[in-house]
A = this chain, B = another copy of it.
């Protein structure tokens, strides 16, 4: 992945966790609406979750209500299951592939390099929508955060990162962002390499990542962006591990539903600007 924004024709939807699954289904409705014409089967992957049997039925009910013809509940607990032909076949049939929350390291550890992951990438190329919530959102970029105490993550080495699922590049995603006060995590990442946009998803909020590199905020919550491209100075390279990181000049935005952002141009899009760009690209 060398480009700075997504190139696959399918939409990616990253959700900050705790999205409504039983009432208005505002975010899940947007996810399902992005499925390609006539592809109304949904695959829900609960690999990240420690309690798949508790999580999966909610999604089955929600997507069924929204009009899915079939909802495939895929636990995928280990690498053997991530290679099963039957599971790959169900992925290939689905217009929506949805990752539940849980632990993003379990997600990458089980799915990394697997036939199931290859099949999902192929589906994305073919225009399917790939969505994930909480850990399922955090794991989407080429590089992900999997640990880091929010209390003060702005200390050298406090944030643990590794390769993600690689659906999108040029950004880093954090979830439960406002609720768990995770600003310092994205600040540390931004200080370590200012090239990548920090995307902090609040609960019951999400972003659609359009193929042209446009972010579109959805849901009742907030999407916070931390743009470090113009970082003026930081001491991070000179510090010992654990020492506090200084940061001069990062740019902070808070998007609500209907607002957008152009990743490449680093430009905030108010609703009429976002609408014009999305209409153009259709």
Contacts and interface: CB of A to CB of B under 8 A. Distances in A.
Interface of A: 150-152, 154, 178-184, 187, 202-203, 220-222, 226, 232-233, 235, 244-257, 259, 268, 270
Contact of A252 (B182, B202, B226): B226
B252 A252 contact: yes
Contact of A178 (B184, B255, B268): B184
12 contacts: A152-B203, A180-B181, A181-B181, A184-B222, A187-B252, A226-B252, A233-B268, A246-B254, A246-B259, A247-B254, A249-B252, A250-B252
Number of copies: 2
Given A181-B183, A232-B268, 5 more contacts: A180-B181, A245-B254, A248-B270, A249-B253, A252-B252
B254 A187 contact: yes
B181 A154 contact: no
Contacts of A233: 268, 270
A249 B248 contact: no
Contacts of A249: 251-253, 268
A213 to B, nearest CB: 18
A243 to B, nearest CB: 8
A235 B270 CA distance: 10
B248 A250 contact: no
Contacts of A226: 252
Nearest to A244: B256
Return the 3 tightest CB-CB contacts between A and B, nearest first: A181-B181, A247-B254, A250-B252
Contacts of A187: 252, 254
Contacts of A221: 152, 244
A8 B77 CA distance: 65
A40 to B, nearest CB: 31
Nearest to A205: B244
